[in-house]
Amino acid sequence: MGTWREIAPDDPAWRCPPKMSRAARAAEQDRAAGARDVRTLRLADGSAVASVALRRKRDGRRIYAYLRWSDHGKTIERYIGEVDQASRAENLAQAWRLATQRHVAPAAPADAVDSAGLDASPALASWASSPSVRAVMRGNKGRDTRPELAVRSAVHALGLRYRVGVPPIPGTRRTADLVFPGAKVAVFVDGCFWHGCSDHHRPARTNAGYWTAKIEGNIARDADTDNLLKLAGWRVVRVWEHETPATAATKILSVVREDIRG
């Protein structure tokens, strides 16, 4: 993540405006996150409201984002990643999206169990306001999710070889889960919640407006990605996480073989 810059980013792209009041800073964070609820972290024995801090190293050309919150008077900070937008507002919003995707938050209580019956691992984190949303967010890794690994294993067993987690079109940020360069086939393994599966997606009850907009945005981006790839001569295969790996692998195999024959 992050884009190399020829010169250091301007101060307005990351620095907090001087003499900005506490209320104004809170409002800025709320807008960037989408709502105050999104900023609320569930701690082991309470809750806290988190904020994103943007920093640039002296004479550096990259902007780094950190999630900060207070736990019983102690300030906790976790690194989120690099951001590369032109304005502070856009960088804060990008950082919040990354924090959600990368689970940058305090660990759940050691004895917690999510709604899917999975033990809450200290290595994973969430500030989701309900057990069901928390379970979904734990599964939202950028790559190497369990459905992806299962599909890759099934495809490999059929004798196909592929690249993993790369953009089919160089220079773009549209990354496919499995890429077959020779056949020009791009495969995406889509999560039912995050990509709006018509069979299994269930809207979040808490902060519904935020999550609805996020999912609709993902669906629109998926359609745009498919169109970009097709215009570039690629064929796209989308597999839902609820499909069995064998079914998904067979579907992928048929498309790859068709393109090789063609």
Cα–Cα distance, 13 to 184 (Å, whole number): 38
Give the distance between the most distant pair of CA atoms in the chain.
Answer: 66
Q: Which residues are 43's β-sheet partners?
A: 46
pLDDT of residue 211: 76
Cα–Cα distance, 118 to 132 (Å, whole number): 11
Which has the closest alpha carbon to 101: 78, 126, 118, 82?
126
Q: What CATH architecture does domain 146-261 belong to?
A: 3-Layer(aba) Sandwich (3.40)
Tally of CA atoms within 13 A in the half-sphere of 252 that contains its CB:
33
**pTM of the predicted protein model:** 0.50
Q: Which two three-digit tokens encode residue 96? A: 């919040």
Which helix (H) or strand (E) segment holds residue 261: the answer is helix 245-261
pLDDT bucket at 207, cuts 50 / 70 / 90 = low
Is residue 54 exposed (0-12), middle (13-18) or buried (19+ Cβ within 10 Å)?
A: buried
Cα–Cα distance, 102 to 98 (Å, whole number): 6
Structure confidence by residue, pLDDT tens digits, 36-62: 878 888 776 677 899 999 999 887 888
How is the chain split into domains, by residue range?
11-135, 146-261
Rg value, the chain, Cα? 20
CA distances from 155 to 46, 145, 185, 245 (A): 45, 15, 13, 8
pLDDT of residue 206: 64
